[in-house]
Amino acid sequence: MVEELATRPPAAMLERKKHPMLVELVVRLVKEKPLALVGGFIVLVVFLTGVFADFLAPYGMAEVHPTEALSPPSVKYILGTDLLGRDLLSRIIFGARVSMIVGIAGASLNVLVATMIGLFSGYVGGKFDIVVQRVVDAFMCFPHLIIMLTVMSILGQGMLQLILVLGVTAGIGQSRVVRSAVLGLKENIYVKAAVAIGCSVPRILYKHILPNVMAPIIVIFTISMGNMILSEATISFLGFGIPPPAPSWGGMLSGAGRNYMMVAPWLAIWPGLALGIAVFGINMLGDGVRDILDPRLRGGLGRYDTATRKKSRDKKPS
């Protein structure tokens, strides 16, 4: 590989510059972060499972077989059935769809809210910024789960409400990350030049600032997706999320089925395992994306660090 690069460095470098950010991100993930790739693969599998749930699931998501309730794993029902005789595997497959919808929609809303607050608060600055930041401070005092459950109790159960609550609460907190990036950017000369030639504030924000905060925004998106899925499962587990007939991994672990877990342990194991694997995948992917895009958060283990790391290890007498 070294030889390959050595033979045609200029072409490779030129080509690399032309890539849009997302393509370059994927290329670097593949090249440098094998663990993130594993995570990305898991996310892809969960995503496709969600998209093609109708074809993959052997039974419908709410199809009941009352005579075969709580039957153990068998050829007919690979993971067994629940209290109402619904096939657990099918419900887990449809659960992937619920998780993915909540994860993607929630993370998008999170990013939108964080970007709007962060951009304006950071760019406008002054008194406006001070006021907005104090409100953000106040919001961040509330433990997430507490404020989410409180609002859910007022809005009522449902997927749309849940996405709204998850996205907005997380977005308010994450706006800090965007704001601090904007604070650094707005001192740049090109922004001052844009002001000097009379660009409007929205244009400056959209054309000059936003493209430069894309990196933290992508990081927020990937990392928050895992949190969204986990929060959805937790809230549904506590009974305030997605209402029962819809299959949510968290909801499947709660409710009436809980009383039968001693006789049907598969009810306790599989939904949680599916959730754990999905969240694991997203976290691994998110870690990789963060390492590449946001070097400040990387800590001591970066690409540029490889040399010093070796040196310091050699130095150690042990």
Residue 303: partners with Cβ closer than 8 Å, 6 or more residues away? 32
Please pick, from the candidates 253, 285, 289, 292, the single residue that binds another protein as defined by CB under 8 A.
253
Please pick, from the candidates 284, 289, 292, 293, the single residue that binds another protein as defined by CB under 8 A.
284
Identity (one letter) of the amino acid at 298?
R
CB of 237 to another protein, least distance (A): 5
Instruction: Please report, for residues 7, 27, 169, 215, 268, the alpha-carbon distance to residue 15 in angstroms, rounded to integers and kept in the order given.
Output: 15, 12, 41, 20, 51
303 binding another protein? (CB under 8 A): no
CB of 198 to another protein, least distance (A): 37
**b/e per residue, 82-100, with b = 16+ CB within 10 A?**
bbbbbbbbbbbbbbbbbbb
| Minimum CB distance to another protein smaller for 194 or for 233 | 233
| Minimum CB distance to another protein smaller for 15 or for 137 | 137
The footprint of another protein on this chain (CB under 8 A) covers a number of residues equal to 51
Secondary structure (DSSP) of 162-207? HHHHHHHHHHHHHHHHHHHHHHHHTTSHHHHHHHHTT--HHHIIII
149 binding another protein? (CB under 8 A): yes
| Minimum CB distance to another protein smaller for 150 or for 188 | 150
Residue 248: partners with Cβ closer than 8 Å, 6 or more residues away? 95, 98, 99, 232, 233, 236, 241, 242
| Minimum CB distance to another protein smaller for 89 or for 194 | 89
| Minimum CB distance to another protein smaller for 71 or for 283 | 283
β partners of residue 81: 87
| Minimum CB distance to another protein smaller for 110 or for 209 | 110
CB of 62 to another protein, least distance (A): 23
Neighbours of 16 (CB within 10 A): 12
CB of 17 to another protein, least distance (A): 31
Side-chain half-sphere CA neighbours of 245 within 13 A: 5
Interface region with another protein, contact rule CB under 8 A, candidates 12-20, 62-70, 102-110, 295-303: 295-303
Give, for 243, the enclosing helix (H) or strand (E): none
| Minimum CB distance to another protein smaller for 160 or for 301 | 301
| Minimum CB distance to another protein smaller for 153 or for 188 | 153
Distance CA(26)–CA(28), nearest Å, equals: 5
73 binding another protein? (CB under 8 A): no
Q: Which of residues 233-252 bind another protein (CB under 8 A)?
A: 233-234, 237-240, 250
Quote helix, strand, coil % in the chain, to nearest 5: 75, 0, 25
Give, for 73, the enclosing helix (H) or strand (E): none
What is the per-residue binding string for another protein in 107-146, x denoting contact by CB under 8 A? ---------------------------xx-xxx-xxxxxx
Distance CA(5)–CA(7), nearest Å, equals: 6
Given a contact cutoff of 8 angstroms between Cβ atoms, the answer to whether 41 and 47 are in contact is no
Question: By the criterion CB under 8 A, which residues form the site for another protein?
Answer: 134-135, 137-139, 141-147, 149-151, 153-154, 230, 233-234, 237-240, 250, 253, 258, 261-262, 265, 268-269, 271-272, 275-276, 279-280, 283-284, 299-301, 308-309, 312-313, 315-318
